[in-house]
Structure 1
């Protein structure tokens, strides 16, 4: 599944992981250059505000 970051980048969801130190759920995703990224799932899924409008940090693409 692919997602668009609010700044415009397209990323591919790789999967879910758990941070060993405190068991935080994490989301693993890949950028177009092949780099792997990870961030807490709560942050990946959160709503942000841009120019006064609420939007998802990462929006799923059809």
Structure 2
């Protein structure tokens, strides 16, 4: 059985397309109570984004993205991978 993945608040994540983001918090939809991840891009204008938690934690569709180098849409990373931002 696969271990449940958890979101690390203030953790740095790499998107499968290569950009980096920091998770700001978890938010809840006012009507459905569905969980959303609030995250900030670590490039450009540092925009704030919102994505359904299930989608944030989802596996990559390798049929659609056969060249993906990671298993999940977003993967927790350490800050040493951010050297390219300097």
Report the equivalent of 1:36.
48
Whose strand fraction is larger, Structure 1's or Structure 2's? 1
With a CA cutoff of 8 Å and minimum separation of 6, indicate the structure with the bigger relative contact order. 1
SS of residue paired to 2:39: strand
Number of residue equivalences: 62
- Equivalent runs, 1:23-62 vs 2, <5 Å: 23-32=33-42, 33-48=45-60, 49=62, 50-51=65-66, 55-62=71-78
RMSD over aligned CA atoms reads 1.7
When normalised by structure 2's length, the TM-score is: 0.65
Larger Rg: 2
| Runs of 5+ unmatched residues, structure 2 | 1-10, 79-86
SS of residue paired to 2:37: strand
The structure 1 segments of at least 4 consecutive aligned residues displaced by more than 4 Å after TM superposition are: none
Whose helix fraction is larger, Structure 1's or Structure 2's? 2
| Runs of 5+ unmatched residues, structure 1 | none
